[in-house]
Structure 1
Amino acid sequence: MFVRTVYATGDPALLDSALRVLNSQGHDLLEERPGYRGAGVFVDRELGKLLTVSWWESEEAQVNSDEVMRERRPALLEPFAASVAVEHYRVAVFHALPRPVVGGALRVARLEFDPRDADLLADTFHASALPRLETVQGLARAALFLDRDRGRGTVGTVFTDHRTLSASRAAQSAIRRSVTAKAHVTVVALEEFDVIHADPHTL
C-alpha cells in the first residue's frame, strides 16, 4: 500500500473553511480516482496545521492521481494554506485495533535514516515497537511509512481520545528511544493532531 501526505499550514481562523471543502469536494475527487483506498484528515487548530493522508493500492494509482490532485489542491485549500508540502511513502507497517478513532488524536514522529537502514527500521518497528505500543492504553492504530530512496519516514499513532494520548507520552518516548537506537534513526519532528476523519483500515 502507498500513501500521499499533504501538510498545510496557515491562519488557524481559516482552517474550518478548508475542512469543509476537503470533506465535500476533496472527498469526491479522491473517490473518483482508480486505486483509492481511503484517507485521514488531522488538524492542529491552535497552530493552524492540516495533515491529510490518502491511501492507494499501488504506486501507479498514487502517481496517476497526483496530476489531478496537484491541479485542484490550491483551490481546495484556499484561503487557509500559506504553505503546502506533499510527500509520498510506502506503508511498511500498519496495525489497527478495534477501537474508535474519530474524536481521538494522532501523534506523528518524522524520521530520517540512512537509506541502507530502511529494512532494519521496518523490522525493528514491527518486532520491537509494535508489541510495546499495543500495551499502551488507548492505542487504536499505528503505522510506519517509509521513503526508502530519501531516507525519510513517518510513524503515526492514533489514540481513542486526548486523555490517553497525553498519558501515553512517557511510554511512547521510551519506545522511540529504544527503536531509534536499534535502527540508527533520528527523530526530526514530533507533532500531535486532532482526528477529524479516518476511514476504516487507514491512518
Structure 2
Amino acid sequence: MFVRTVYSTGDPSKIDSAVRALNAQGRDLLEDRPGYRGSGIFVDRTLGKLLAVSWWTTEDARRNSDEVMRERRVSMLEPFAATTLVENYEAVVFHQIRQPEARGGLRLTRLEFDPMDTDLLTETFRASVVPGLEALAGLARASLLVDRERGRGMVGALFADHASLAGSRGAHAAVRHEGAAKAHVAVTGLEEFETVFTDVRAD
C-alpha cells in the first residue's frame, strides 16, 4: 500500500475544529476516491499537533486523490493549522493484531537511512522488530513506511489504550535501539499521539 501523511501544528485550543472537519468532510472526500483503503487521525492536544494519514492501493491512486484533497485541505485545517507538511510513503510492512480504537495511542518513530539499505530495513523490521513489538501489552498495529528515494521512514506502533502506550515505553525503546543498530538507521524523532480515528483495510 501507499500512504500520504499530513502533519499540522497550531493553536491547541483550535485543534478540535480541524478534527471535526477531517472526520466529516475529509473522510467523505477520501471514501469517494478510487483505490482508497482507509485513514487515521491522531492528535497531540497538549502541544497542538495533528497527524492525518490516508492509505491507498497504488501510488497512482494516492497521487490522483491528492489533486482533489489539495484544494480542500487548507479550508478543513483552518483555523487550527499554522504549519502543514504533506509527505508520501510506501507501506512496506503492515502488521495488524487487532483493530485499533479511538482513545488509544500512537507512538511514531522517524527514521533516516541510506536508500540502498531500504530492503535491509524492511527485512530487519519483519524479522526482528515485529516480534519484539508483539510482546508489548496492548499493541494493536505496527507499520513501517519508507521513502526509498530520500532515505526516510516512519514506524507507527498503535496501542489499544493510553495505559498500554505509556507502559510500553521502556520495552519499546529496547526493541527500537536493537532494530536501528541491525538495520543501520538513525532515529531522528519520537512522538506520541492520541488516536481519534483509524480504519485501514489491508486486504
SS in 2 for 1:17: helix
Equivalent residue letter for 1:55: W
- Tell me the residue number matched to 1:126: 126
Matches within 5 A, 1:41-120: 41-120=41-120
Gaps of 5+ in 2: none
1:123-145 per-position Cα deviation (integer Å, ceiling 9, x unaligned): 00000000111111110100000
Question: After alignment, is 5-14 or 97-106 more displaced?
Answer: 97-106
- Tell me the residue number matched to 1:11: 11
How far the C-alpha of 1:200 sits from its partner, in A, is 4.1
1:96·1:201 contact (CA, 8 Å) conserved in 2?
Answer: no
How does the TM-score come out when normalised to structure 1? Answer: 0.97
Give yes or no for the alignment of 1:186 onto 2:200.
Answer: no
Distance 1:100 1:182 in 2: 29
Equivalent residue letter for 1:3: V
The root-mean-square deviation of aligned C-alpha atoms, in Å, is 1.0
- Tell me the residue number matched to 1:34: 34
How far the C-alpha of 1:103 sits from its partner, in A, is 1.4
SS in 2 for 1:47: coil
Distance 2:134 2:167 in 1: 14
1:101·1:198 contact (CA, 8 Å) conserved in 2?
Answer: yes
Distance 1:176 1:5 in 2: 22
1:137-189 per-position Cα deviation (integer Å, ceiling 9, x unaligned): 11010000000000000000001111111110011100111011111100111
How far the C-alpha of 1:31 sits from its partner, in A, is 1.0
Report the number of matched residues: 202
% same residue: 60
- Tell me the residue number matched to 1:166: 166
1:37-58 per-position Cα deviation (integer Å, ceiling 9, x unaligned): 1100000000000001100010
2:100·2:198 contact (CA, 8 Å) conserved in 1?
Answer: no
Query: CA distance change for structure 1 residues 129 and 15 in 2, over 3 Å: closer, same or farther?
Result: same
How far the C-alpha of 1:98 sits from its partner, in A, is 2.3
How does the TM-score come out when normalised to structure 2? Answer: 0.97
Equivalent residue letter for 1:138: G
1:101·1:158 contact (CA, 8 Å) conserved in 2?
Answer: no
1:103·1:195 contact (CA, 8 Å) conserved in 2?
Answer: yes
SS in 1 for 2:46: coil
Distance 1:189 1:75 in 2: 28
Equivalent residue letter for 2:177: R
- Tell me the residue number matched to 1:177: 177
**Deviating runs (4+, > 2 A) in structure 1?**
98-101
SS in 1 for 2:101: coil
